[in-house]
Amino acid sequence: MPAAPLILPDTPQNRQLSENVHPCHWVNPEPAERYNLVVIGAGTAGLICAAGAAGLGAKVALVERNLMGGDCLNTGCVPSKALIRAARAVYDARTVSEFGMQDSNLAGFDFKVAMERMQRLRAGISRHDSATRFRDELGVDLFIGEACFSGPDSVHVDGKTLQFKKAAICTGARAAAPPVPGLAEAGYLTNETVFSLTELPLHLAVIGAGPIGCELAQTFCRFGSKVTLIELAPAILGREDRDAAAILQDALIREGIDLQLGVKISAVESRDDQKILHLEKDGHAIKITVDQILVGVGRAPNIEELALQTAGVAFDRSGVKVNDQLQTTNANIYAAGDVCSAYKFTHMADAQARILLANALFKGRQKVSDLIVPWCTYTDPEIAHVGMSEQDATAKGINVTTLTIPLSDIDRAVLDGETEGFARVHLHKDTDRILGATIVARHAGEMINELTLAITNNLGLGAIARTIHPYPTQAEVIKKLADSYNRTRLTPFLTRLLSGWLKWQRG
C-alpha cells in the first residue's frame, strides 16, 4: 500500500500527483563535487532554472522540500482555474433561459464531481513537473528535502553538502495571515487547503478582495455557497483600473456575493462548528456567522529556513533583495519568482528564471525592468492588464491619451450576450505608442496578448489598425481602438483638405 499522498484528500488522483511530484521512495543522489547551479525550490521559477541550465549542459542540483510544481501546479493556478471552469459551467447552465433552454437550477450540482475533475486534470498536468522526468530526461540531480545555506558557496540538504559555483533561490511564498485576534484559533483555509475541501461550505467568508479572493469568492458563490467577501480597502482589486474593478464589483454583487468593503475585522470566535466574524464598518459593528473562512490577503516569502545570513544574502519582509539583474548581495547567488518579485505570477517566475540563467551562467546583463508584464484575473468577466496604468505614466511625467471602446460596440460581444466590459489603451500623447492597456471581457486574458506583443515589439496602434481581424470576434475591440486612434489624427485642416480633394474629383 503506497503512503498517503502529501496533498489531501486521499484519492487515486492525489496519489498519482504525489507520486509524480514527491515520490515516497525517492533516494537522493550522491552530490557531484561541484555544481554549476544549485536551485532551491522546484516551483515554476526553480523548474525553469533547472531544466534550462541542464539543457545547456550545466551540472545542476534541484532541491524541493514539498511538492515539485510549487504553488502553480498544486495549490494555485491549476486547481483554481479548473474550479473556475466548473463554476462557469454551473453559471451558464443557470442562465440559459435567454437561449431558449429550460432554466436549470443548482440542485443537480455535485461539488465532489467538480473537485474530482480538478484533481484528475492536475494529476495529469503534473507529469511535466515530475521527479523522474527531471532526473531521467533532463539529467538534473534532484534532492528531496529542506535546503539551507551552509556557507557562501554551499547548501545543506538531507545530511549532504552541495558545493556550487552559482545558486538560485526560488523558494516562492505562502499565504500571509492577517493579524486578527481569534482567527488562528478558529481556523481558516488558505490556498494550501481550500482545494482539499470535500464538502461545499454553506457560508464562506473570504478575507481579502485581491485576485485570490475575487476568483474564489465568485467560484464558491456559483457553486452555491453563501459568500461574504470582506475587504479592508473601499474597493476590490486595488491594483486594477478603477472602471474595470467597478464592472467586476457590480457583477459579484449581482451574482449574490455579500460584499463588505472598507471593513476591519476586529475579532473572530468559534462556537460549535461555526466561526463568528466581528466586523467594524463606518463605526458600526457587524456580526457574520460562517462555517468556513478563506484567507487571501497577500503573500509572505519563504525565507525563514534558508539561513540566508550564512551566505551573505540580504532580505526583508517582502523577500530576498535582488538588483535589476536578479543578483542578491552575494554575487554568486541569484533569486527568481515570488520570493523576490513584486509581480507574483507564474509567467513572471518563468520570465525571471530565464533572465537568471542568462545572467548567472553566461555573464548576461538582462534586466527585469525591461520586461513588459501582462496579467489577468480570471473572474467572469476577466480583467487583463499590460504595461503602465495612467497613474504609472503620470508618475513618470509622461503625458497620456486614453482611448476606450465598450464591448457593447462589438457585434460578437452583443451576439454572445457578453457586453459587460471594455478595452482601453494609454498612448504616449500625440503618438500611437502604447504605454499600457486594460481589457475587461469574458476572455480578456486571451485578448491582451495582441497588445502585449505590440508593446514588447514597439508596434504602435497604427500597426494594429493595418491588421485585419476576423469578423465577428470580440478581439475586434482592439482594432476599433486603433481605428479610433486614426480618427484622432483627422485634424480640421486635414478634413478640409480631404473634402476639398473629393469635391474637386466630383468635378
Ligand X SMILES: Cc1cc2nc3c(=O)[nH]c(=O)nc-3n(C[C@H](O)[C@H](O)[C@H](O)COP(=O)(O)OP(=O)(O)OC[C@H]3O[C@@H](n4cnc5c(N)ncnc54)[C@H](O)[C@@H]3O)c2cc1C
Partner whose binding site includes residue 297, from ligand X, ligand NAD, none (CB under 5 to 8 Å by kind): ligand NAD
**Pick from 165, 152, 156, 138: nearest CA to 37:** 165
Spatial contact of 32 and 141, defined as CB atoms under 8 Å apart: yes
Q: Which is nearer to ligand NAD, 281 or 429 (CB)?
A: 281
Q: What is the DSSP string of 3-51?
A: PPPSSSS--HHHHHHHHHHS-TT--PPPPPS-EEEEEE--SHHHHHHHH
Residue owning grid cell 513588459: 372
208 is in an annotated binding site: yes
How many of the chain's residues bind ligand NAD (CB under 6 A)?
Answer: 25
298 is in an annotated binding site: yes
The 243-272 contact track toward ligand NAD, x by CB under 6 A, reads: ----------------------x-------
Residue 421 touching ligand X (CB under 6 A): no
End-to-end CA distance of the chain: 93
Partner whose binding site includes residue 298, from ligand NAD, ligand X, none (CB under 5 to 8 Å by kind): ligand NAD
Q: Which is nearer to ligand NAD, 35 or 345 (CB)?
A: 345
Helical spans, DSSP H, in 95-210: 111-125, 131-132, 183-186
Map residue 90 onto helix, strand or coil: helix
Q: How far is CA 154 from the centre of its chain?
A: 32
Distances (CA, A) of 86 to 8, 79, 131, 323: 20, 11, 29, 41
- According to DSSP, the residues that pair with 384 across neighbouring strands are 376, 439
Beta pairing, strands 315-316 & 274-281: unpaired
Handedness of CA 126, 49, 344, 143 (dihedral sign): positive
Smallest gap from residue 245 Cβ to ligand NAD (A): 10
Residue selected from 347, 428, 433, 469 as contacting ligand X according to rule CB under 6 A: 347
Q: What beta strand segments (E) does 380-478 contain? A: 382-387, 400-406, 422-428, 434-441
Q: Which is nearer to ligand NAD, 294 or 481 (CB)?
A: 294
81 is in an annotated binding site: yes
The 287-326 contact track toward ligand X, x by CB under 6 A, reads: ---------------x--xx--------------------
Q: Which is nearer to ligand X, 47 or 279 (CB)?
A: 47
221 is in an annotated binding site: no
Residue 220 touching ligand X (CB under 6 A): no
231 is in an annotated binding site: yes
Residue 255 touching ligand X (CB under 6 A): no
The 165-204 contact track toward ligand NAD, x by CB under 6 A, reads: -------------x--------------------------
Smallest gap from residue 299 Cβ to ligand NAD (A): 5
The 117-146 contact track toward ligand X, x by CB under 6 A, reads: -----------------------------x
Residue selected from 5, 69, 296, 337 as contacting ligand NAD according to rule CB under 6 A: 296
Distances (CA, A) of 333 to 149, 183, 261, 338: 11, 38, 42, 16
Spatial contact of 445 and 382, defined as CB atoms under 8 Å apart: yes
- According to DSSP, the residues that pair with 259 across neighbouring strands are 229
- According to DSSP, the residues that pair with 37 across neighbouring strands are 60, 166
Smallest gap from residue 444 Cβ to ligand NAD (A): 11
CA distance 159 to 506: 90
Partner whose binding site includes residue 232, from ligand X, ligand NAD, none (CB under 5 to 8 Å by kind): ligand NAD
Task: Give the footprint of ligand NAD on this chain (CB under 6 A).
Answer: 178, 207-213, 215, 230-233, 238, 265, 296-299, 344-345, 375-378
Task: Give the footprint of ligand X on this chain (CB under 6 A).
Answer: 40-46, 63-67, 70-72, 76-77, 80-81, 146-147, 170-173, 191, 212, 302, 305-306, 337-338, 344-347, 349, 378
